[in-house]
Structure 1
Amino acid sequence: MFPVVAFLTLACLVGFSSQGPGVLDEITMLEASNSSLLRYPTDFSRDIVPKGIHSHNDYWRDVPLLTALSLGVASVEADVWLVNETLHVGHEMAALTTERTLDSLYIQPLLSILAGQNPKTLFSVNQTSINGVFDTSPTTPLQLLVDMKTDGASTLPFVLSALQPLRELGYLTTCASNGVCTPGPLLAVGTGNTPLEGIQALSPRDLFFDASLTALNSTFDITLSPLASTDYQVAVGWNGIGNISEAQLSAVQRLVGDAHGLGIRARFWDTPGWPIHARNNVWKTLTENGADWLNADELNAAAAMF
Structure 2
Amino acid sequence: MLRSLPVLFVSLWLTISVAAGQKIHAHNDYAQAQPFVNAYEQRADFIEADVWLRDGVLVVAHDKNQVATAPTLDSLYIKPIVRRFQQYKERVSPERDYTFALMIDVKDEAAEVMPKLIALLQETMVCFNRQVNPLAVQVIVSGNRPKVETYLDYPAFIQFDGRPNEIYDTETLRHVALVSDSFRSYSRWDGNGDLSDEDRAKLKRVIKRAHNDGKPIRFWAIPDTPNAWKQLKRLGVDIINTDKVAEAVQAMR
Compute the TM-score of the two structures, normalised by the length of structure 2. 0.82
- Paired residue for 1:112? 83
Structure 2 counterpart of 1:297, from 233, 243, 247: 243
Greater C-alpha radius of gyration? 1
Of all paired residues, the percent bearing the same amino acid is 28
Q: How much does 1:51 deviate?
A: 5.6
Structure 1 counterpart of 2:64, from 85, 93, 96: 93
Q: Is the 8 A contact 1:53 1:75 kept in 2?
A: yes
Cα distance in 1 for residues equivalent to 2:145 and 2:159: 9
Q: Is the 8 A contact 2:101 2:139 kept in 1?
A: yes
**Per-residue Cα deviation, 1:114-135 (whole angstroms, up to 9, x for no partner):** 12221xxxxxxxxxxx53x343
- Paired residue for 2:14? none
Q: How much does 1:191 deviate?
A: 0.6
Cα distance in 2 for residues equivalent to 1:288 and 1:185: 30
Q: How much does 1:267 deviate?
A: 0.5
Do structure 1's residue 173 and structure 2's residue 130 form an aligned pair? yes
Q: Is the 8 A contact 1:153 1:198 kept in 2?
A: no
- Paired residue for 2:12? none
Q: How much does 1:222 deviate?
A: 5.2
Q: How much does 1:170 deviate?
A: 5.7
Cα distance in 1 for residues equivalent to 2:158 and 2:138: 8
- Paired residue for 1:219? 169
Cα distance in 2 for residues equivalent to 1:155 and 1:83: 10
SS at match of 1:91: coil
Q: Is the 8 A contact 2:128 2:157 kept in 1?
A: no
Do structure 1's residue 234 and structure 2's residue 192 form an aligned pair? no
Q: Which amino acid aligns with 1:272?
A: P
Compute the TM-score of the two structures, normalised by the length of structure 1. 0.69
Q: Is the 8 A contact 2:85 2:93 kept in 1?
A: no
SS at match of 2:78: helix
- Paired residue for 1:188? 139
Structure 2 counterpart of 1:287, from 220, 233, 238: 233
Pick the structure with more helix per residue: 2
**Per-residue Cα deviation, 1:58-80 (whole angstroms, up to 9, x for no partner):** 11111111111111212101111
Cα distance in 2 for residues equivalent to 1:84 and 1:143: 27
Aligned positions, number: 231
Q: Which amino acid aligns with 1:280?
A: P
Cα distance in 2 for residues equivalent to 1:269 and 1:173: 27
- Paired residue for 2:16? none
- Paired residue for 1:161? 119
> Where does the alignment leave 5 or more consecutive residues of structure 1 unmatched?
1-48, 119-129, 175-180, 274-278
> Where does the alignment leave 5 or more consecutive residues of structure 2 unmatched?
1-19
Structure 2 counterpart of 1:135, from 94, 99, 107: 94
Q: Indicate the structure whose relative CO is greater, using CA pairs within 8 Å and at least 6 residues apart.
A: 2
Cα distance in 2 for residues equivalent to 1:200 and 1:253: 30
Cα distance in 2 for residues equivalent to 1:199 and 1:150: 18
Structure 2 counterpart of 1:249, from 200, 203, 207: 200
Q: Which amino acid aligns with 2:184?
A: Q
Do structure 1's residue 149 and structure 2's residue 107 form an aligned pair? yes
Cα separation, partners in 2 of 1:219 and 1:117, compared to 1, 3 Å: same
Cα distance in 1 for residues equivalent to 2:211 and 2:99: 18
Cα distance in 1 for residues equivalent to 2:93 and 2:185: 34
**Per-residue Cα deviation, 1:271-299 (whole angstroms, up to 9, x for no partner):** 124xxxxx222111111222121100112
Cα distance in 2 for residues equivalent to 1:110 and 1:170: 8
